[in-house]
Chains A and B, each alone.
Chain A
Amino acid sequence: MSNPKTLFDKVWDAHIVRPETPDTPAVLYIDLHLIHEVTSPQAFSELRQRGLPVRRPERTLATMDHSTPTTPRNALGVIPVIDPQAINQLDQLRKNCADFGITLFELGSLNQGIVHVIGPEQGLTQPGMTIVCGDSHTSTHGAFGALAFGIGTSEVGHVLATQCLLQYRPKTCAVRVSGKLQAGVTAKDIILAIIAKYGVGGGTGHVFEYMGEAIRSLSMEERMTICNMSIEGGARAGMVAPDETTFQYVAGRPYAPQGAAFAEAVERWRSLPSDDGARFDKEMSLDAGSLAPMITYGTNPGMGIPIDAPIPTPEQLPDSASRQALDKAMVYMGLEPGKPLLGHKVDLVFIGSCTNSRINDLRQAASFFRGRKVADGVRVMVVPGSQRVKKQAEEEGLDAIFKAAGAEWREAGCSACLGMNDDKVPAGKYAVSTSNRNFEGRQGPGARTMLASPLTAAAAAVTGRITDPRTMLDER
């Protein structure tokens, strides 16, 4: 081949409306625009002020997820929203969608859920697409071989009005993950290990393409977990080349092409993977075979260690900035350098978020809870990523397992991932969370978050301590 291209190159090139010039960025066409209540209101106000319509409402989809409660439905079957500011925000989204002709997956409907869970689940997310949303974890959709990234509210306005964005071509970074995961080690551990190895700024300016044996053998849900946290590695987007696993996942979903159109689409999608010899601007690598379950001890997602390792000491760190950061994190977390995390007390466990709230995550967690009880004094919240995930889990009886163990089974939404609704981690308490950010205060003011996989979270839930899930796999 004369000019081998990467997956990213192919998707990017196919969406150029107007090429980049020395004076102007490229105009990039957006196939799918997802919106939610938090980052869209000011964009709609801008449209109203300028008297503009939404250019392609049929390429736009709205849901409610961030500020919505996940408390159980009341006697009328309604999810009660109590916070007046959240009520206002949800009302505005309803009105904006009605006025501009946008389909809205309402709170309470079977289609509602976290924006990055519903896109794939509905078949809206397809290989080769450009997808944006006013949310940084839009990177999740890259698992399908789409170019998907988060944008700010001004840009939400640009896409609503023109279906286009002004963009400079990012650089590409191949992330090669070799080997085969051992029992008890999951996709979440792969991405936490990559971020621990290359840092939270390691991917800045780049789009990741995850490749290699370990990635190929993952399910779509697991690939989404990895792409989801590309942003925590500093990359705006992460991609995985589509393959049979991808096509099987998309097939038959409500908004996916059907019948002959699907077969045609698959033919197109088969041409997307990076060509042999395609050049990347940067390379990263990880051996998945030697990986242990990962957990974070600090206040950014790069502060992660194998669960059986001690917290690093300042002497082990390369520069004064990271030593300072460690100091600050230790004070906030109430932890000590050089000490193990294993055995540390846990107050709350959160299983949910767009990183780990899909059906396979819940199945994994449930398999751990089956026949076990949540430890005394530990609060466990299990929050499905969407109402459809919730329904399927209930059909499989997973909810009964969670409830029997003493965990809370809640309605779909972002929940305790960002401390914007009622689900929060109390100040000073330790939470093992399957979400993606352990920033100071992320899960509530003063909350102390330790990021981990659903298996590690479940092990913490039943022991009340940080526990290596591998030690409990064969206990029964």
Chain B
Amino acid sequence: MKPITTFSGKAVALPIDNVDTDQIIPASYLKITDKSGVADGLFQAWRYLPDGSPNPDFPLNRPEALGATLLVAGHNFGCGSSREHAPWALQGYGFRAVIAPAFADIFRNNALKIGLLPVVIDAESYHELLSHLAEDPHTTLSIDLPNQLLTMPGGRLVSFPIDAFARHCLVHGVDQLGFLQQQEADILTFEATNPVTVYTIR
């Protein structure tokens, strides 16, 4: 994975609470066996009209949202299923971070694994961001991952939490599976001292 440090980009707001994974990517896009084409299904039911043309009222389709790389979303974003297709679709579409007051657990985990930053901000900053974006839809924001800082439109810095390990992996492009593999000695010791209670092969 490419290291992520600081970056800035245009933000677009989707101020809805409890946006679930079925909205982010509907089940019909889960039939892929790779990651291709998944971005086409991002927010499908909201993004397109029944005839397949783009829904002009959907925030992502507004001309000023073109090229946005930061999504400002509501509380409990990504609730629902464990489908990693949801962060794949957001990343495939071009988003590098989702900024929200809270994320569902599995979504946040999955996003961190692929380098789509889940940026948790306090409710006040969230509402402040929404009003900025309503006034100026061309707002850009910048994110400093090593220092865990989001720069608000007026220049105010908002710090955001992220676990130290995930940050380390993202900033240095370290691969989490590689880290797990390095624990081989401990895994072997564990397996030697913990009897198998289930055996699926007959």
A residues at B contact (CB < 8 Å): 14, 17-18, 22-25, 27, 29, 31-32, 38-39, 41-42, 45-46, 50, 57-61, 66-67, 83, 85-86, 88-89, 92, 101-103, 124, 126, 128-129, 134-136, 138, 150-155, 157-158, 161-164, 166, 168, 170, 200-201, 204-205, 231, 234, 236, 255, 257, 265, 300, 302, 321-322, 324-325, 328, 418-420, 437, 439-442, 445
Mark B157-192 against chain A: 1 for CB-CB distance below 8 A, else 0: 000000111001000000011011101001100110
Q: Which residue of A lies closest to B184 (CB)?
A: A162
| Given known A-B contacts A162-B183, A321-B17, A42 and B200 have beta carbons under 8 A apart | no
Asked whether B113 lies within 8 Å of A25 as measured between CB atoms, the reply is no
Set of chain A residues within 8 Å of B31, measured between Cβ atoms: 38, 67, 83, 85-86, 88-89, 420
Set of chain A residues within 8 Å of B165, measured between Cβ atoms: 23-25, 166
Answer yes or no: B62 CB below 8 A from chain A CBs. Answer: no
Could you give 7 example pairs across A and B, Cβ below 8 Å?
A: A17-B187, A42-B84, A234-B79, A255-B200, A265-B197, A325-B18, A440-B23
Asked whether B106 lies within 8 Å of A136 as measured between CB atoms, the reply is yes
Mark B16-46 against chain A: 1 for CB-CB distance below 8 A, else 0: 1110101100111011111100000000010
The 4 lowest CB-CB distance pairs between A and B, nearest first, are: A152-B110, A150-B82, A152-B84, A41-B33
Answer yes or no: B2 CB below 8 A from chain A CBs. Answer: no
Set of chain B residues within 8 Å of A200, measured between Cβ atoms: 18, 76, 79
How many B residues touch A, CB cutoff 8 Å? 56
Chain A nearest Cβ from B30, distance in angstroms: 5
Asked whether B164 lies within 8 Å of A152 as measured between CB atoms, the reply is no
Docked Cα-Cα span, A164 to B177, in Å, equals: 10
Asked whether A101 lies within 8 Å of B201 as measured between CB atoms, the reply is yes
Asked whether A57 lies within 8 Å of B201 as measured between CB atoms, the reply is yes
Answer yes or no: B102 CB below 8 A from chain A CBs. Answer: yes
Set of chain A residues within 8 Å of B74, measured between Cβ atoms: 321
Q: Which residue of B lies closest to A43 (CB)?
A: B84
Asked whether A420 lies within 8 Å of B20 as measured between CB atoms, the reply is no
Q: Which residue of B lies closest to A165 (CB)?
A: B180
B residues at A contact (CB < 8 Å): 16-18, 20, 22-23, 26-28, 30-35, 45, 74-76, 79-84, 87, 102, 104-106, 109-110, 113-114, 163-165, 168, 176-177, 179-181, 183, 186-187, 190-191, 194, 196-202
Asked whether B177 lies within 8 Å of A103 as measured between CB atoms, the reply is no
Which one of B22, B23, B33 has the highest number of Cβ atoms from chain A below 10 Å of its Cβ? B33
Asked whether B34 lies within 8 Å of A129 as measured between CB atoms, the reply is no
Asked whether B106 lies within 8 Å of A18 as measured between CB atoms, the reply is no
Q: Which residue of B lies closest to A160 (CB)?
A: B177
Asked whether B82 lies within 8 Å of A164 as measured between CB atoms, the reply is no
Asked whether A39 lies within 8 Å of B34 as measured between CB atoms, the reply is no
| Given known A-B contacts A27-B187, A60-B200, A166 and B179 have beta carbons under 8 A apart | yes
Asked whether B20 lies within 8 Å of A300 as measured between CB atoms, the reply is yes
Contact of B183 among A17, A129, A255 (CB under 8 A): A17
Asked whether B201 lies within 8 Å of A163 as measured between CB atoms, the reply is no
Chain B nearest Cβ from A187, distance in angstroms: 21
| Given known A-B contacts A136-B81, A234-B76, A158 and B200 have beta carbons under 8 A apart | no
Asked whether A201 lies within 8 Å of B79 as measured between CB atoms, the reply is yes
Asked whether B75 lies within 8 Å of A154 as measured between CB atoms, the reply is no
Contact of B104 among A46, A86, A204 (CB under 8 A): A204
Q: Which residue of B lies closest to A18 (CB)?
A: B186
Set of chain B residues within 8 Å of A419, measured between Cβ atoms: 26-28
Asked whether A151 lies within 8 Å of B82 as measured between CB atoms, the reply is yes
Set of chain A residues within 8 Å of B22, measured between Cβ atoms: 418, 437, 439-442
Q: Which residue of B lies closest to A170 (CB)?
A: B105
Asked whether A103 lies within 8 Å of B202 as measured between CB atoms, the reply is yes
Contact of B199 among A58, A83, A163, A321 (CB under 8 A): A58
Set of chain B residues within 8 Å of A151, measured between Cβ atoms: 82, 106, 109
Docked Cα-Cα span, A46 to B200, in Å, equals: 23
| Given known A-B contacts A31-B198, A59-B196, A42 and B33 have beta carbons under 8 A apart | yes
Set of chain B residues within 8 Å of A67, measured between Cβ atoms: 30-31
| Given known A-B contacts A136-B106, A162-B177, A58 and B200 have beta carbons under 8 A apart | yes
Asked whether A321 lies within 8 Å of B198 as measured between CB atoms, the reply is no
Chain B nearest Cβ from A412, distance in angstroms: 18
Docked Cα-Cα span, A56 to B198, in Å, equals: 11
Which one of A27, A50, A83, A166 has the highest number of Cβ atoms from chain B below 10 Å of its Cβ? A166
Chain A nearest Cβ from B96, distance in angstroms: 17
Which one of B28, B76, B191, B197 has the highest number of Cβ atoms from chain A below 10 Å of its Cβ? B197
| Given known A-B contacts A158-B176, A161-B177, A420 and B28 have beta carbons under 8 A apart | yes
Chain B nearest Cβ from A312, distance in angstroms: 16
Docked Cα-Cα span, A419 to B45, in Å, equals: 14
Q: Which residue of B lies closest to A17 (CB)?
A: B190
Asked whether A441 lies within 8 Å of B26 as measured between CB atoms, the reply is yes
Chain A nearest Cβ from B95, distance in angstroms: 17
Set of chain A residues within 8 Å of B187, measured between Cβ atoms: 17, 27, 29, 162-164
